[in-house]
Chains A and B, each alone.
Chain A
Amino acid sequence: MALREEVARVADQLGRGLKILVGKPGLDGHSNGAEQIAVRARDAGMEVVYEGIRLTPAQIARSAVDEGVHVIGLSILSGSHRELIPDVLDALREAGGAEIPVVVGGIIPEADAEPLRTAGVAAVYTPKDFELTRILRDVVALVAERNGIATAA
């Protein structure tokens, strides 16, 4: 099934638009990747809250809860993912958004991916994952799974 149709199907089941927060935590202004994801997600039919750059974990957590997003996508190229991403997960728990899945992409060495997943990140994308459509397909499947929506036949 085409990605756009799958997004529409999941949104229909959710009852409202499939909403994703895209942002960059920490001191990292390289926003190309995040913008690419944001635009492609919009083109696939998602409601994208683009939160921008240099965000604190508290900002991300508060926005995700207030906005009622179904998933959070973080882009990080600064190398501080081992500190910042667990901080985001903590802040999310504190803000009452523990159930919102977080996916992370960026300059993340393979060796760091597993610890991030163990910490609670739903998916980690390294520079080897450059196929945007595949990443977005995963994101839609993740939202479907977390909301008890059956996968497309």
Chain B
Amino acid sequence: MSGGDEARAAAAAAELGARLRERDLGAAPTALNLLENRSPARRGEIAALLAEVAPGRLGGEAPAHVVGVTGPPGAGKSTLLSALVRVWRERGRSVGVLAVDPSSKRSGGALLGDRARIDADPTDRGVFIRSMAAGERLGGLAPATRAAAQALAAAFDVVVVETVGVGQSETEVAEAADTVAVVVQPGSGDVLQFLKAGIMEVPDVLVVTKADLGAVADRAVRDLRAALRSLGDGAPVVAVSSIQPVAGVEALADALDEHRARLDLHTARTRARRLGALADYVAEHGERGLRALGGRRAAERFLAEQDAAREGPALVRALEARAAEPR
């Protein structure tokens, strides 16, 4: 691209960001098409878009509630989301869903199946669903997911990041979301299992799906509560049935809201921006890049000294400049 073309493209990207900031939900698909673009030539445009939805431009943190929903395959995450989206819409909230599914290690391809289960009215502009392939990055999040969540958070009332998680990979979604709901299905283990699995380290709310199963679901709720007691953790456990007769979904929406109300949003989002920038930096420059910063701890200390409102791409640039400094 020539300089003039580049400037025009950046201006168009900034315009997309501005539309999101003005809560124009129709800008979401085009914005996501850009944010998912991995071509180095488009980085300037991505930075221009994200700058428009950064706290500095918004006059504070993005108003959305960013909710992470994670759990093992088949636990009922997308069916639950279908029911949750309905409750949020009844409460007058617009909802953007980022559904992340695994990529095949062999072919790089992905079968993104959440859309078939999340039942939303196609004429309702207040719901936006986007499937994302997790790509090569370990940890459950697609490379563009954080940026996408950040952009959507400027426009939507609720932004959901849905990932498949089985124990170790939930930390990334925990870093990107305000509130994390971990979905557990009945019959998937006793107290020891829950204590052992890294999954208990991230949830703000625990959800037991398939409550219509009865006794086995009650047992899962009791086991989870016992495990949480052992850990000294006060996270609520909510049992839901996402299919008819639907039960517990309103209570879950309330539990998510209560967590968000207690949250120091500025601190949580600042941390998310910094950890996200570090993850992006490591994805780009690898362990060698991390060593150039003096290791992960040193990198985190450096980020902690940066302006709290700086958005991801600016922080990545700061890390790159830091790594290039002679030592």
CB pair B111 A38 closer than 8 Å? yes
CB pair B39 A42 closer than 8 Å? no
Q: Does B38 contact A (CB under 8 A)?
A: yes
Would you give the shortest CB distance from A31 to chain B, in whole angstroms?
A: 10
CB pair A63 B133 closer than 8 Å? no
Q: Does B73 contact A (CB under 8 A)?
A: no
CB pair A58 B107 closer than 8 Å? no
CB pair B104 A42 closer than 8 Å? yes
| Complex-state Cα separation, A37 to B60, whole angstroms | 46
> In the assembled complex, which residues on chain B have CB atoms less than 8 Å from the CB atom of A48?
109-112
| Complex-state Cα separation, A58 to B120, whole angstroms | 11
| Complex-state Cα separation, A39 to B128, whole angstroms | 25
Give A83-108 as 1s and 0s: 1 = Cβ < 8 Å from B's Cβ atoms: 00000000000000000000000000
Beyond contacts A43-B106, A43-B107, A63-B115: 12 other A-B pairs, Cβ-Cβ < 8 A, are A15-B38, A16-B33, A17-B133, A44-B107, A47-B133, A48-B110, A52-B117, A59-B122, A61-B122, A66-B29, A67-B129, A67-B130
| Complex-state Cα separation, A61 to B30, whole angstroms | 15
Q: Does B28 contact A (CB under 8 A)?
A: yes
Question: Which 5 residue pairs are nearest across A and B when measured between Cβ atoms?
Answer: A52-B116, A15-B39, A15-B37, A62-B122, A42-B109
Q: Does B225 contact A (CB under 8 A)?
A: no
Q: Does A46 contact B (CB under 8 A)?
A: yes
CB pair B107 A45 closer than 8 Å? yes
> In the assembled complex, which residues on chain B have CB atoms less than 8 Å from the CB atom of A39?
111
| Complex-state Cα separation, A50 to B107, whole angstroms | 17
| Complex-state Cα separation, A68 to B29, whole angstroms | 6
Q: Count B-side interface residues using an 8 Å CB cutoff.
A: 29
Q: Does A41 contact B (CB under 8 A)?
A: yes
Give A24-48 as 1s and 0s: 1 = Cβ < 8 Å from B's Cβ atoms: 0000000000000011011111111
Q: Does B131 contact A (CB under 8 A)?
A: yes
Would you give the shortest CB distance from B82 to chain A, in whole angstroms?
A: 13
Would you give the shortest CB distance from A146 to chain B, in whole angstroms?
A: 14
24 contacts between A and B (CB under 8 A): A7-B109, A15-B37, A17-B109, A42-B104, A42-B107, A44-B107, A45-B108, A47-B109, A47-B131, A48-B109, A48-B110, A48-B112, A50-B111, A51-B115, A51-B116, A52-B115, A59-B122, A62-B122, A62-B123, A63-B115, A63-B122, A66-B130, A67-B131, A68-B33
Chain A interface (Cβ < 8 Å from any Cβ of B): 4, 7-8, 15-17, 38-39, 41-52, 56, 58-59, 61-63, 65-68
| Complex-state Cα separation, A4 to B110, whole angstroms | 13
CB pair A16 B109 closer than 8 Å? no
| Complex-state Cα separation, A20 to B104, whole angstroms | 16
| Complex-state Cα separation, A7 to B133, whole angstroms | 15
CB pair A45 B109 closer than 8 Å? yes
| Complex-state Cα separation, A118 to B122, whole angstroms | 27
| Complex-state Cα separation, A37 to B128, whole angstroms | 26
CB pair B29 A65 closer than 8 Å? yes
Would you give the shortest CB distance from B49 to chain A, in whole angstroms?
A: 14
